[in-house]
Amino acid sequence: MARETSANMTGASSEVTAPSAGTAARLGVRDRLLTLWIFLAMAAGILLGAVAPGVSDALNSISVGTTNVPLAICMMLMLYPPLAKVRYAELPRVFRNARALGLMLLFCAVIGPLLMFVLATTFLRDQPDYMTGLILIGIAPCIAMVIVWNGLAGGDTEWCAGFVAVNAILQVLLYGPMAWLFATQLTSLVGAPVVTLSLSVGDVAGTVAFYLGIPFAAGALGRLALERAKGRDWYEGVFLPRISPVSFMALLATIILMFSLKGRQIVQLPLDAVRIAIPLVIYFAVMFFSSFAVAHAAGFSYPQTSAIAFTATGNNFELAIAVAVATFGLGSGEAFAAVVGPLIEVPSLILLVNAALAMRRHCSWPEDDMPVSVGQGAEKERA
């Protein structure tokens, strides 16, 4: 049975459709040049921070606690369209698939934290603050941007939303204990420097609720209300195509803001940034290709495999940054390492999206599970 994968955040009119034999998926100009747009946004952010530091300082000052309000608004706008496209009534099938859920949790809750711990203590043992920053990243599986990367790759939107919900709950309950375990207890076992870390469940819950809870509620409640008022055909054929470009523009705005606020630190400490970037790139590559290979070998379809792989690969940098700033201070090495994370993740995950689409074309998949696009994307494919 064909399944909707309209979570592509770049708009229904440019979604990646299932490639038939000898026929390449048709992408709009915006999608074909997506990597270029993102790199241009990164450059624009760094330029803004360097040329107009007063502007970035003013934006940075608009904060509530450790949360930057303009950045949070951009992220919520970025996440709303993909979450509005999720068919929430189909989420129970995700939780009924114990094999897929177990595989995702194995990578997110066990393999990922352990891999980042090994990389951090191997590459940054002489820099305990940077080492701790990477550990804080590794124990936080992604609950936000993964929706965007999975959508770009044509992954299963319901599976991804279900995985995000599970990871959000687990982070509220387990992030504090896991931070204590990995950053204080396990580091002492391997002879690495030990840090003092104090973190409450309330701190984690507030960050998760702010960044994810608002767009999640808006997507679910908005779909329910609009489908009842206008019908599913109007919602998926008219409303979703209209709001989809918002996510693309918000993604670029998020990247510009992120780099304008924190990119100057990367420029000021380039060698340190490179040292932090090396284990991060290794982490992204190992997590993505290993989880993708295992899911493919287990017989999952491409959309399902993509959802598992991107959920396993991404990290909740917002939470890691918030925890690092709240615990160690804005100018700390831990905060600096956490900031480097998303700046490396954006280009890395874009490359992995392209890798996923390439493997989608060249690997064999269960054809009756391959997705088709809806709305304008389907009309474009038929044309």
Helix (H, G, I), strand (E, B) or coil at 371: strand
**pLDDT tens, 158-179?**
888 889 888 877 877 788 788 8
Task: Name the percent of the chain in helix, strand, coil, to the closest 5.
Answer: 75, 5, 20
DSSP at 143: S
User: Residue 308 corresponds to which tokens in the numbers above?
Assistant: 């598992």
Residue at 292 is within a domain: yes
**Cα–Cα dist 6/4, whole Å:** 6
**Cα–Cα dist 371/361, whole Å:** 13
Q: What's the CATH code of the domain at 145?
A: 1.20.1530.20
**What is the structure's pLDDT at 73?**
83
Task: State the pairing for strand pair 67-68/63-64.
Answer: antiparallel
**Cα–Cα dist 138/74, whole Å:** 24
Q: Which residue has the tokens 């980042």?
A: 116
DSSP at 269: S
For residue 67, list its beta bridge partners.
Answer: 64
**What is the structure's pLDDT at 149?**
87
Residue at 85 is within a domain: yes
**Cα–Cα dist 34/36, whole Å:** 5
**pLDDT tens, 211-260?**
667 888 888 899 899 999 999 899 988 998 888 888 778 878 877 887 77
What count of other Cβ atoms lies within 10 Å of the Cβ of residue 210? 17
Residue at 172 is within a domain: yes
Domain count, the chain: 1
Give 166-170 contacts, CB < 8 A, sequence gap 24+. 166/95, 166/101, 166/104, 166/105, 167/108, 167/141, 167/142, 167/143, 167/311, 167/316, 168/143, 168/208, 168/212, 168/213, 170/109, 170/141
Structural domain containing residue 334: 30-359
In 52-126, alpha helices (H): 53-61, 69-84, 91-96, 98-105, 112-123
Residue at 377 is within a domain: no
**Cα–Cα dist 223/216, whole Å:** 11
> Which residues have C-beta within 8 Å of that of residue 275, sequence separation ≥ 6?
123, 124, 127, 130
Residue at 14 is within a domain: no
Counting every residue written for the chain, the total comes to: 383
Residue at 12 is within a domain: no
Helix (H, G, I), strand (E, B) or coil at 124: coil
**What is the structure's pLDDT at 204?**
60
List the chain residues with pLDDT less than 70.
Answer: 1-35, 65-67, 144, 194-209, 211-212, 262-267, 322, 325-326, 329-331, 367-383
Total-model pTM: 0.69
Residue at 224 is within a domain: yes
User: Residue 266 corresponds to which tokens in the numbers above?
Assistant: 């990367």
Residue at 114 is within a domain: yes
